[in-house]
Amino acid sequence: MSRKPVHLAVYDTFADWETGHTTAWLARVGYEIRTVGPSTAPVTSTGGLRVQPGLPLPALRPEDSSLLILPGADLWDTSDDLAPFARAARAFLDAGVPVGAICGATSGIAREGLLDDRAHTSAAPMYLAASGYQGGARYVEADAVTDGDLITAGPTEPVAFAREIFGRLGDVFEGEKLDAWYRLFHDSDPAAYETLNA
């Protein structure tokens, strides 16, 4: 099956642990994972990984992508440097292409107005309230939330984030296999392994 690539945003201080389950399993089922940075200059993650972006953000087009993933980063809360990535998320959603935002990226897209009219979650309601957004009534106390093409999650839920992305894309795991994948990696349920590999 031919699929468009999945684009993983990378920028200085990005939280490298938040998207590992997502990108690893998407790659395993045949998605090309392409990194997109502010430019093609190397960036350094919170964990000290040096990453060379494959694509500069100005060259990213929704029509060339299956999904845009925005990981958390200290920069979401300390500067406006990542605002262009929130604007890219708006372009993706306007084009009907899914966006996944986790941790600090939820605050960035909140400032862009993307959570005002969509169900969402994050680290905590007060964290997003500090962004000045208007979507507090749509906040959901859940590990991860999907509303149409937008998936959000808090910083402690990379497995739930991946599950929601797999469910939204629809061609990674389905039905009981998706449930089994989540139970195996989130709950350490050994019984789920047999279902997942059946």
**The pLDDT value given to residue 2:** 64
- Of 176, 111, 117, whose CA–CA distance to 148 is shortest? 117
**The pLDDT value given to residue 185:** 95
Average pLDDT over residues 72-78: 96
Asked if 172 and 25 count as a contact pair (C-beta separation under 8 A), the reply is: yes
Task: Judge whether 187 lies within some domain.
Answer: no
Tracing tokens 């392409």 back to the chain, one arrives at 34
Task: Judge whether 22 lies within some domain.
Answer: yes
What total of structural domains would you count in the chain?
A: 1
Ramachandran sector of residue 172 (left: φ over 0; alpha: ψ -120 to 50; beta: rest)? alpha
pLDDT 10s digits, 9-54 = 999 999 999 999 999 999 999 999 999 999 999 999 999 999 999 9
CA–CA dist 95, 103 (Å, integer): 24
**pLDDT band at residue 198 under the 50/70/90 scheme:** confident
pTM: 0.96
Task: Judge whether 194 lies within some domain.
Answer: no
DSSP 39: S
Task: Judge whether 190 lies within some domain.
Answer: no
Domain, as residue range, for 127: 6-173
Q: What is the CA radius of gyration of the chain?
A: 16
Specify the CATH number for the domain of residue 89. Answer: 3.40.50.880
pLDDT 10s digits, 136-172 = 999 999 999 999 999 999 999 999 999 999 999 999 9
Average pLDDT over residues 121-139: 96
Report strand pairing: 6-9 vs 99-102. unpaired
- Of 97, 91, 98, 90, whose CA–CA distance to 115 is shortest? 90
